[in-house]
């Protein structure tokens, strides 16, 4: 058996040999990212490049692209210098770099398949500001039988919230029986403005007992005050006898940008005939005129 000093010497030689062996296997200078880190960072950078290409950022626009790369460095807690030195080292060791890029390509291939399969859904920041409100305050279901008197199923919604720039969506289900006596039935949806003008859409209906879903979408694009949203869920120019129809699940949704309500109202107000600025605006305008006169009459 070895005595105690010999055992200590043997252990020292063993650990020294292991340390030298590991360092020779790693062979990287201090500060160079390991293979796993480099794989993650390069994958993220390729994803960022794809996003920037979609945004139209070319290779010459470094100032606009730099924030994307800085975010990646911050995410993985590394510096630009660390990445640059790591890139130099790996390019000087092509075999290792080839293995890393094989993993990067594999990661991107998996990501591409996931995108095609609908795993990720892009978030539109404009959609995040959109709000929806159901304005329908009437019955959502109508059963018009042979004993019902023939009338047009008219509706009208008035609300001070109705505004230029809004989108109004009318939806409902409808079935008309062959026994219904209406001729050339149709459904209609319209926006009425303060100056008497209207925007409208309509569709032909059919007496064939089929249950149909109707969806109308109208945007208030005129810079005018909206008087009402109206329409007919069922109407015809001529009819004889009684009704035999079924309407269900009626909704009228107002879709609007919550952050632009005040500015849009201002646009409508200023577009109205006979519009006059408020006293505050007049004062601001007068003060601005005085400043211009002073500026040009007494140059600095």
Contact 213, 140 (CB under 8 A): no
Its CATH architecture, for the domain 131-263, is: Sandwich (2.60)
Task: Express each pLDDT in 174-195 by its tens digit.
Answer: 999 888 877 888 899 999 999 9
Q: Phi and psi at residue 240, in whole multiples of 5°?
A: -140, 135
Task: Express each pLDDT in 76-112 by its tens digit.
Answer: 889 989 998 988 898 888 888 899 988 999 998 988 8
Q: What is the pLDDT of residue 283?
A: 58
- For 13, the token pair is 């030689």
7 pLDDT above the threshold of 50: no
At residue 178, the 3 state secondary structure works out as coil
pTM given for the model: 0.50
- For 58, the token pair is 């070319």
Q: How far is CA 181 from the centre of its chain?
A: 46
CA angle 212, 218, 224 (to 5 degrees): 155
Contact 191, 167 (CB under 8 A): no
Q: What is the pLDDT of residue 19?
A: 42
Residue 120: pLDDT band (50, 70, 90) is low
C-alpha count within 13 angstroms, C-beta hemisphere, residue 279: 0
Least confident of 32-46, 83-97, 162-176, 268-282: 268-282
243 or 119, which is more confident: 243
Q: What is the pLDDT of residue 178?
A: 87
237-251 in b/e burial notation, b at 16+ Cβ within 10 A?
eebeebbbbbbeebe
276 or 199, which is more confident: 199
Residue 140: pLDDT band (50, 70, 90) is very high
Task: Express each pLDDT in 197-246 by its tens digit.
Answer: 999 998 999 889 999 999 999 999 888 899 999 999 988 876 666 778 89
Beta bridge partners of 246: 143, 175
Span 3-22, mean pLDDT? 43
Share of residues in the chain with pLDDT > 90 (%):
25
- For 293, the token pair is 């006169």
CA distance 225 to 164: 7
13 pLDDT above the threshold of 50: no
Q: What would you measure as the largest C-alpha separation in the chain, in angstroms? A: 120
Span 155-164, mean pLDDT? 89
Region(s) of the chain under CATH 2.60.120.1310: 131-263
CA dihedral 192, 239, 202, 269 (to 10 degrees): 0
Q: Which helix (H) or strand (E) holds 83?
A: helix 80-91
Q: What is the pLDDT of residue 226?
A: 93
CA distance 207 to 210: 8
């Amino acid at each position: 058996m070895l005595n105690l000093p010999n055992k200590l010497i043997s252990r020292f030689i063993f650990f020294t040999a292991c340390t030298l062996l590991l360092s020779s296997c790693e062979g990287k200078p201090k500060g160079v990212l390991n293979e796993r880190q480099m794989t993650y960072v390069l994958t993220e950078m390729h994803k960022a490049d794809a996003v920037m290409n979609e945004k139209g950022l070319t290779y010459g626009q470094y100032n606009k692209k730099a924030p994307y790369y800085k975010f990646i460095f911050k995410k993985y807690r590394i510096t630009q210098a660390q990445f640059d030195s790591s890139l130099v080292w790996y390019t000087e060791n092509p075999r290792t770099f080839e293995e890393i890029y094989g993993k990067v390509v594999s990661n991107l291939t998996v990501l591409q398949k996931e995108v095609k399969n609908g795993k990720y859904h892009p978030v539109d920041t404009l959609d995040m500001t959109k709000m929806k409100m159901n304005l329908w305050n009437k019955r959502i279901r109508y059963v018009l039988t042979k004993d019902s008197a023939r009338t047009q199923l008219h509706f009208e919604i008035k609300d001070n919230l109705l505004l230029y720039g809004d989108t109004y969506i009318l939806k409902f289900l409808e079935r008309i029986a062959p026994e219904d006596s209406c001729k050339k039935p149709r459904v209609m949806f319209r926006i009425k403005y303060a100056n008497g003008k209207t925007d409208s859409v309509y569709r032909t209906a059919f007496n064939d007992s089929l249950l149909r879903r109707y969806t109308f979408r109208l945007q208030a694009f005129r810079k005018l005050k909206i008087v009402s949203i109206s329409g007919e869920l069922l109407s015809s120019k001529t009819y004889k006898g009684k009704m035999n129809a079924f309407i269900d699940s009626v909704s009228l949704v107002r879709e609007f940008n919550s952050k632009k309500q005040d500015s849009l109202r201002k646009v409508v107000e200023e577009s109205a005939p006979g519009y006059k600025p408020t006293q505050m605006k007049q004062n601001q305008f007068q003060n601005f005129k005085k400043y211009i006169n002073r500026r040009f009459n007494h140059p600095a």
